[in-house]
Structure 1
Amino acid sequence: MSDAAPPKIVIVGAGPAGIRAATTLVSAGLHPVVIDEGHRAGGQIYRRPPAGFVRTPEQLYGSEAAKARALHALFDRLVEEGRLTHCAASSVVAAHAGRLHLLGGGSVQVIGYDRLILATGASDRVVPVPGWQNAGVYSLGAAQIALKAQAVALGRRIVLMGSGPLLTLVGAQLVKAGADVAAVLDTAPWRRQMRGVLGLAARPVVALRGLTLRARLGGRYHAGVTLERIEADAGGVTAICWRDARGRRRLTPCDMVAMGWHLCAETHLADLVGCTFTYDEQWRQWLPRADQLGRAGNGIYLAGDGARLLGADGAEIAGRLAATACLSDLGRPVPSVDTDLRKLARLERFARGLACAFPWPFEMVRALPDAAIVCRCENVTVGALRENVDFGGAEANRVKSLSRVGMGRCQGRYCQLAAVELVAAKAGCTPSAVGRLRGQAPVRPAPIGAFLRDG
């Protein structure tokens, strides 16, 4: 056994989950390969700016600055010491039979693995609003990336809309940076937010921190709003029309809108490597199935928001657990995981509280007018989608083939959940009965030339 080659373990994602997974494996004497789309490790929540950036971690990450510093320093040290291989600015665009197709530097290379840890994170979950296809409309994550990575606000007069902790966080970060935030519009009514109090009590300090950020928004914050449309001219966004909790119509001039309703797990690679999925009724999305430690079968392990939406702290724990499960399956000694499992259970209660307090507004989606765009990539209208349900039946992939919804650049990341709600409403069934769009390679846009090889 001592002469056997060490197993090749690949980690996809260098956010909190991927960094902790890598650290655990390195501590056990293994040399993992870490692949990440960012130029520097940290993920979205701890995204790092370019070298020479003048804003401090305290300005970028607020109360999480110490955690961000520690994770960045830990990963950088392991890279400098040659204890792991970091494939930066690289995307896994396909996976099959123990091999990954890695796009980086303008070409695609194929690397094999014996064990694979997916720490792919999550993307913004958005709701189509009439006019959201116009220039000047972004996701909350995009607004946050621009602020963290380049220290810029994407508009001169900004409106944020959606629901969940990211809405408050990005609003507070923009205000602190000096941006002109005209309004923060939350579709969750106050009474609904109060229903999540029991779950949020699982992390009282975090909940209090969120309330503090909310207080900084002052009169900009409005709960229980109804979003009607985003107005625009040839130059882009000009205003947003909405109704307040009392039903009064409001018009807020702006030149930039950022939207987001919590997160959507990034599951395309999990689909390609054969993971099974379960529909989560509370989150109203399909999530890959794994055991408590992240085992998904066939040498695949899941960690972070790509498996369970538990935030950065949960991602760190999940990354450590996934690596521990991997070591155990390889016959290596592992420490007790009882403490981590207890912490994860508490984070799960908190996350469920968030899902209850800031729900996905499926009723708003189902009430969209026929003229609204549901798929921005392919310019598919709500009316066209509803019409194709009559022809193809209430099955996600049949509707996709007929309407082209989900066939564009984002591969359904931003339109799938809304499309499924619309199909379910039209057919009179549940979203789980409609199913999900199958993941297909390439999971990220890739130039054809990158796949061409000499000979």
Structure 2
Amino acid sequence: MAEPRVIVVGAGPAGVRCAEQLVSAGLRPVLIDEGRRDGGQIYRRQPANFTRSYATLYGTEAGRAEALHTSFDRLRDKVDYRSETLAWNLAGGELHVVKDQRAARIPYDALVICSGATDRLMPVKGWHYAGTYSLGAAQIALKSQACSIGRRVVFMGTGPLLYLVASQYLKAGASIAGVLDTSRLRHQAAAMPKLLARPALLANGLKFIRALKNAGVPVLSGIEPVEISGSADDGVSGVSFRDAGGALRTIECDAVAMGYHLRPETQLADLARCAFRFDQQARQWFPEVSLEGRSSVPGVYLAGDGARILGADGAENAGRLAALSLLADHGYQVDETAAARIVGIQQKMDRFRVGLVQAFPWPQQLAAKLPDDAIVCRCESITAGELRRVVCDMGAQEANRAKAFSRVGMGRCQGRYCGQAGAEVIAHAAGVPIESVGRLRGQAPVKPLSITVREDKA
């Protein structure tokens, strides 16, 4: 039996565990990592000359982070690891990559996409001012550079990441001006039966909130963002919002970290022609994938937050399952009992995921309230008013048609940060269900490339 050529894209929790499972079966996969070092976003390694402890850097996740890093260190010589390498396209059974301005094509028999996720963002007037970051970007600054994004930071949005990053900043000694959550306590109470599916994780979240409050940080629920104030010259100066009682309030700050859960990085899955499904609860599109990691396209497997957002430990399990499916599909003997056990764990985690969506809902109603002069697409400076105009005056009720008429989603981020909120604006302006607006189609390159890139010829 010829050994299949396997590529794993991503060296976060899903990618590392996938590669580990493949190596244990005697394979030597190619492991593509856009980052400088393994770990992904959640377990991002600090620079080699930094000496902070795991407990300081990762808090309650220190044990898992260290275990993943240790596993990768053991794997390093058993995989073809390619760091700082961008997977930017795939076609004809080849993955297109670029590193150090040199492009190459890698043929594969099986492809496992562990592309992870990025912040899901809802625009607010003024969010284009310097000093406004996503929660993930704020976390990168802390982990990679040991610095705060500002002298006085407001954290705004909803979901577990909001409290995790705020607590990490608190532990690092940063000044936190406030934590503003758009979800209401009644949402969280109603979701409690589902959240109890993972009591330890629930306890950790409550612990983060308690630590913030004990430190005197204002932690407010049920808020409605109104505006991030500031100027083009000086950046952010404050945040205005309505509290749960409807009163207008302002907090002075010089930086804002925003985020509303996560959105999967699905561009490579899209280019692989994987089928997608609309999740009514989360109000976003996900690739169709079985719990075992098989996509709708033979030979393409999906794992981690890029397919189903279950958290870091869920991503590790998904990586293992995708590897086991790949091995079984190529005639290798696998432990079916172990696979079934992991599937059972994933089903339990999925119940918790549904609870999180219920407890911290995506605030789609805010899209309807965006003033016309609020910028939706920061890359192209497209306002909510411009987007509504192409809907009402030009009949653009579908995401890609609105993109063609307005340039929303055509910038550097290619719709990663404006696409889902833009779809909400379109749906409200057109008076149609959000799923009928569709999603922005993935196109190569999935991230911008320099014009100086040259392709190596075989």
Given residue 371 of structure 1, which amino acid in structure 2 is its aligned partner?
D
* CA distance in 2 between partners of 1:255 and 1:23 (Å): 43
Give the aligned partner of residue 55 of structure 1. 52
Residue 325 of structure 2 aligns with an amino acid whose one-letter code is A
Q: What is the match of residue 434 of structure 1? A: 437
Matching residue of 2:317 = 317
Out of 394, 407, 410, which is 1:407 matched to?
410
Could you tell me which of 126, 132, 138 is aligned with 1:131?
Answer: 126
One-letter identity of the residue aligned with 2:194 = G
Q: Does 1:370 align with 2:346?
A: no
Q: CA deviation at 1:428?
A: 1.0
Q: Deviations over 1:177-205 (max 9, x none)?
A: 00000000000011112121111010011
Q: CA deviation at 1:295?
A: 0.6
> What's the secondary structure of 1:287's corresponding residue?
strand
Alignment match of 2:175 (pick from 158, 175, 180): 180
Mapping of residues 64-103 of structure 1, within 5 Å: 64-79=61-76, 82-103=77-98
Mapping for residues 164-243 of structure 1, pairs under 5 Å: 164-218=159-213, 219-233=217-231, 234-243=233-242
After TM superposition, the runs of 4+ consecutive aligned structure 1 residues lying more than 3 A away are 451-455
Change (3 A) 1:73 1:355: same
The equivalent of 1:248 in structure 2 is: 247
Q: Hey, what's the Cα distance between the residues in 1 that align with 2:183 and 2:228? A: 19
Structure 1 residue 334, shift from structure 2 partner: 0.5
Aligned to 1:8: 5
Aligned to 1:361: 363
Could you list the per-position Cα deviations for residues 36-59 of structure 1 after superposition, in whole angstroms to 9, with x for gaps in the alignment? 111111011100011121211100
User: SS at 1:86's partner residue?
Assistant: strand
Partner deviation per Cα, 1:345-375 (whole Å, 9 max, x = no partner): 0100001100000010000112111111000
Distance in 2 between the 1:76 and 1:162 partners? 36
Structure 1: 5+ residue stretches without partners: none
**TM, length-normalised to structure 1:** 0.97
2:291 touches 2:346 (CA, 8 Å); kept in 1? no
Q: CA deviation at 1:454?
A: 8.7
Alignment match, 2:31: 34
Unaligned runs of 5+ in 2: none
What is residue 274 of structure 1 aligned with on the other side?
273
Deviations 1:76-110 (A, max 9, x none): 1111xx21111101110111111111111122111
The residue identity in structure 2 corresponding to 1:365 is: A
Counterparts of 1:14 and 1:46 in 2: how far apart (Å)? 10
Q: Give the alignment partner of residue 22 of structure 1, picking from 13, 19, 23.
A: 19
Letter in 2 for 1:263: L
Which one of 340, 351, 357 corresponds to residue 342 of structure 2?
340
Q: How many equivalent residue pairs?
A: 450
- Contact 1:129–1:229, Cα closer than 8 Å, also in 2: yes
Match for residue 428 of structure 2 among 418, 425, 429:
425
Look up the match of 1:110.
Answer: 105
Deviation at 1:171, TM superposition (A): 0.5
Q: Identity of counterpart residues, as a percentage?
A: 51
Letter in 1 for 2:442: G
- TM-score (normalised: structure 2): 0.97
